[in-house]
Amino acid sequence: MKIIEIVKINRELLRNLHIAGVRLDDAKYINLYTEYRHMLENHEKVSYIVAVLAEKYAISERKVYGLIKRFQTDCNLFAV
């Protein structure tokens, strides 16, 4: 199967995800956000959580903060 075939099959889904502000790259970080929520529930400090996750996922702390912010943002499925 070619990439274009997958895109054609999922065209509407991809368009809706794009409109909602979801990036394809976000899927890589679902576990990161899950771990963030778990650590936060265990009363860890945000700066500690970010440092640990940045190290674990080999990304910058700024990227972790950005992902957390984006994942917590409400999406607008009815945007024009």
Please list the rounded mean pLDDT of every run of 10 residues in the chain (80 residues).
92 90 91 98 98 98 96 74
In a domain, 79, yes or no: no
Residue 18: its pLDDT value, please?
87
**pTM score of the predicted model:** 0.81
Residue 58: its pLDDT value, please?
97
Domain extent at residue 11: 3-72
In a domain, 10, yes or no: yes
- Count up the domains in the chain and report the number: 1
Residue 2 phi/psi, 5-degree rounding, is: -90, 155
In a domain, 49, yes or no: yes
In a domain, 60, yes or no: yes
Residue 46: its pLDDT value, please?
97
Residue 74: its pLDDT value, please?
85
